[in-house]
Amino acid sequence: MPSPARPSLTPRKQPRQARAEATVDAIFEATIQLLTRPGAENLTTTRVAERAGVSIGTLYQYFPNKQALIYALNERYLVALTEKIEATCRAQEGESAKNMLKALIDTYWQAKTERPEVTRALYRSVADLDNTALIETFAQRVDAATTAMFSSASDVDFANLAEVNLTLVTVIFGTVRNAFERGLDTDEADRLHGQLLLMCEAYLVCIGERINHAGGQSGGQD
């Protein structure tokens, strides 16, 4: 993957026919399979094509180069992840902050945990890819979604929403990833999961925002 004169990362053509879409899917699937096998560093376009059951020429019909393939794969993953988070955020509109935290943590934790090898593989795959733009794009979408969610909390009024949101999002996502990389066993992971929620709640209490444990009755004039 030589980087000077970085080539286009956008797919070469959009699959218009069903057949083409199936091909692209097969290629993605093959890539993931190879990526999640030991020896993933051996990911080669030839092997991807082989496993996808298409010729190498066909692969290059859909992706102008290897980086574009990896980029597209990560994009796909990030889109799905982001959409999950957005869905969670929408579903929590108007809920209590505590519920929001719980839902956010659960969603992210589960997303990272359900196919751990895939997560790990994707982390590795982007090592030498300039995916800053990708990351940023999706970070913004996530920030927007969580910000909107928290601003609708039924029981809290955030004085400095931006700061709190950044803190929570950074802590949650960072902690989950770290937990993930430490290879904790299920038991430890579960307990950590719980403690993370506790910590985030404690944070909200601490920053002086009143959480109406009792529900909305005490204030509500907002």
Partner DNA sequence: TATGAATGAGGCTTCATTCAT
Partner DNA sequence: CATGAATGAAGCCTCATTCAT
Which residues make up the interface to DNA (CB under 7 A)? 1, 7, 13, 15-17, 19-20, 22-23, 42-47, 54-58, 60-61, 64-67
Query: What's the half-sphere exposure (Cβ side, CA atoms, 13 Å) at 181?
Result: 9
Evaluated on CA atoms 92, 97, 99, 101, the torsion sign reads positive
Residue closer to DNA, measured from CB, 72 or 104: 72
Instruction: Yes or no: say if 31 and 70 are a contact pair by the CB < 8 Å rule.
Output: yes
Q: Which is nearer to DNA, 128 or 157 (CB)?
A: 128
Which of 210, 219, 31, 207 is CA-nearest to residue 125? 31
* Smallest separation (angstroms) from its own copies to the CB of 96: 17
Stretch that binds its own copies, among 16-24, 98-106, 145-153, 165-173 (CB under 8 A): 165-173
- Whole-Å CA distances, 27 to 53, 66, 108, 155: 8, 12, 26, 47
List residues near its own copies by CB under 8 A: 1-5, 38-42, 123-124, 127-128, 132, 135-136, 139, 163-164, 166-167, 170-171, 173-179, 181-183, 188, 191-192, 195-196, 198-203, 205-207
